[in-house]
Amino acid sequence: MSAEPVKQGISDIRRSARLSVAPMMDWTDRHCRYFHRQLGRHALLYTEMVTAPALVRGGAVHLLEHDPAEHPVALQLGGSDPAELAKAARMGQAAGYVEINLNCGCPSDRVQSGTFGAVLMRQPALVAECVRAMQDAVDLPVTVKCRIGVDDQDPEEVLPEFLARIVAAGCERVTIHARKAWLQGLSPKENRDIPPLDYDLVRRMKQLFPNLHISINGGVARLEEAAALLDGGLDGVMIGRAAYHQPWDILGTADARIFGAAPPQPGPEAAARAMLPYIERHLSGGGRLHQVTRHMLGLFAGRPGARAWRRHLSEGASGADAGPELVEAALERLAEAGRDAA
């Protein structure tokens, strides 16, 4: 049984945003999102960041391609030119996305040089102008993903002003990565771990902006942690690396734990087999197996046989003739290892 897309109105999107998978460069591509949707129907998925210049000036409309079964899925845009972002947002709406998200959190040098990402925390008035331009251009929710501040900014001062500006521009939903971003001296990887988390500050923002839907991001590694944050008064939790590396632990149980619904698959083995028709379509269109299966390596994380599963897929999927039978063989290796461990 494969997952069916969830038809979304605005209230439905807000509900789906109770749990979301973070946009992650080189990870949350369309194959990853299709796979994640086999594990859970309801969590909100995000694209990798797509830059507005690439769409508007570069004509890279292929970056908007996605399967209807991925829904609910949001488009994250990078940029700082209001008119250009408005055009890109219209392209995203035409492509069928349910939300447009503005990246104000990525700390990479490449992003900074384009004057977007976390560096925009220094320009809340410009961010508000961008939000308003996109709001005027589309009939979709326009949301923001941000940090609590950058470099030597005082988050206690900066974050409330930033949120007040985007709320005044019409933003009704925001995701806050509860860490500063250090634009000089730390790599993007280090920026995901080294700056300390400040969940209490995000909770205070919810008290200051009770009508703003606030999701928290950063450091959440288990679904139980997400549930506790929701129970503590936050509106949503966005999970990144844990959802990618332990997808069944997060997404495979989220429909029941977070949304009170039945999961689309009874277990990770069924989820793997649900990918086979998709893999066949991808290969028939000229794709390669590893483009899909690289996102599936963590499906059995923590279970007996997980290493055998990963090894068989990673070693064989790059072969020119690799096909769906490799996934079946990897499942057999998993079962064998599980029996040996019993």
Measuring CA to CA, which residue among 97, 188, 185, 110 is closest to residue 147?
188
SS3 (DSSP) at 145 = strand
User: What is the C-alpha to C-alpha distance for residues 7 and 20, in angstroms, rounded to an integer?
Assistant: 16
User: What is the C-alpha to C-alpha distance for residues 282 and 289, in angstroms, rounded to an integer?
Assistant: 8
DSSP at 74: E
**Which of the residues are catalytic?**
106
Helices marked H in the chain — which ranges?
10-16, 30-39, 52-56, 82-95, 109-113, 124-137, 155-168, 188-191, 199-208, 223-231, 241-245, 247-257, 268-274, 276-284, 290-293, 306-316, 324-341
User: What is the C-alpha to C-alpha distance for residues 147 and 159, in angstroms, rounded to an integer?
Assistant: 8
Tokens representing residue 135 in the block = 């709001």
Tokens representing residue 13 in the block = 């999107």
User: What is the C-alpha to C-alpha distance for residues 200 and 95, in angstroms, rounded to an integer?
Assistant: 38
User: What is the C-alpha to C-alpha distance for residues 333 and 305, in angstroms, rounded to an integer?
Assistant: 7
Tokens representing residue 176 in the block = 């806050």
